[in-house]
């Protein structure tokens, strides 16, 4: 049987340690502190007033469905800046099974060279 001590043992990672249960307790305490601090705030929220309406720099609000940012539009900046590597990677993903085997042969060839067999 597993003892309680064994269950809650600190995980030694060689150069450090990790105890998720302690981390969780710390997380809960920090959350409680934040919640208490939040309680000191001024509750001026008034539902149904202009205060709660969406403000888009004075532009009219679109219908909800069209405001959802689609997957293709996410991380466009990252995608643009990495275009050179993405295009290169796309070009090798041909979907052609002969190319899949070609890569296998290439890897095997490189390893043969690496080991000095050819």
Partner 1 sequence: MNFIDLIMSHAPALLVVIPLLGAFLTPLISKINDKIRNIFVISILGITAVFVLLVAQQVLDTGTITYVFGSSLQTQNNTVIRILFEIDALSIFMALVSIILAFVASIYSWGFLENETGQDKYYTLLLLMTAGMLGMVLTGDLFNFFVFIEITSIASAALIAFWTNRVKAVEAGFKYIFISTIGALFILFALALLYGQYDALNIAQLADRITFTYLDKIALIIFISALAMKGGIVPMHMWVPDAYGRAPASASLVLVAATQASLYGVFRVLFTLYGNVIHLPNISFGWILVILGLITMLVGVIMAMIQTDFKRLIAYGAVAELGYIFLGVGTGLTIIANPDIGISSAPFAVEAMKGSIFHIINDALDVGLLFMIAGAVYYATKETSLNSLGGLARNMKYTTIFFIIGLLAISGIPPMNGFASKLLIYESTYQLNPIISIIAILSSIMLLAVFVKIFQSVFLGPKLKKFDDVKEVPKSMLIAMGIVASIIIFFGLFPDLIVSNLVEPAVNALIHPENYLQGLTGGL
The residues that touch partner 1, with contacts defined as CB under 8 A, are 2, 6-16, 18, 20-21, 23-24, 64-65, 67-72, 74-75, 78-79, 82, 85-86, 89-90, 92-93, 95, 97, 99-101, 103-104, 106-108, 111-112, 114-117
CB 39 to partner 1: min, Å: 27
Q: How far apart are CB 50 and partner 1 at their closest, in Å?
A: 21
Nearer to partner 1, 4 or 36 (CB): 4
User: Which CB sits closer to partner 1, 32 or 86?
Assistant: 86
Q: Which residue number, 44 or 73, has a Cβ lying nearer to partner 1?
A: 73
Which residues fall within 8 angstroms of residue 19, CB to CB, at 6 or more apart? 8, 10, 11
- Minimum Å gap between C-beta 115 and partner 1 is 6
């Amino acid at each position: 049987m597993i003892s309680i001590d064994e269950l809650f043992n600190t995980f030694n990672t060689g150069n450090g340690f990790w105890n998720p249960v302690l981390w969780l307790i710390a997380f809960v305490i920090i959350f409680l502190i934040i919640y208490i601090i939040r309680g000191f705030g001024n509750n001026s929220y008034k539902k149904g007033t202009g205060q709660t309406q969406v403000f888009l720099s004075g532009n009219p609000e679109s219908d909800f469905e069209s405001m959802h940012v689609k997957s293709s539009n996410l991380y466009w900046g990252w995608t643009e800046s990495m275009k050179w590597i993405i295009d290169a990677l796309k070009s090798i993903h041909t979907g052609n099974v002969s190319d899949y085997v070609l890569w296998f042969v290439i890897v095997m060839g490189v390893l043969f060279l690496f080991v000095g067999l050819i």
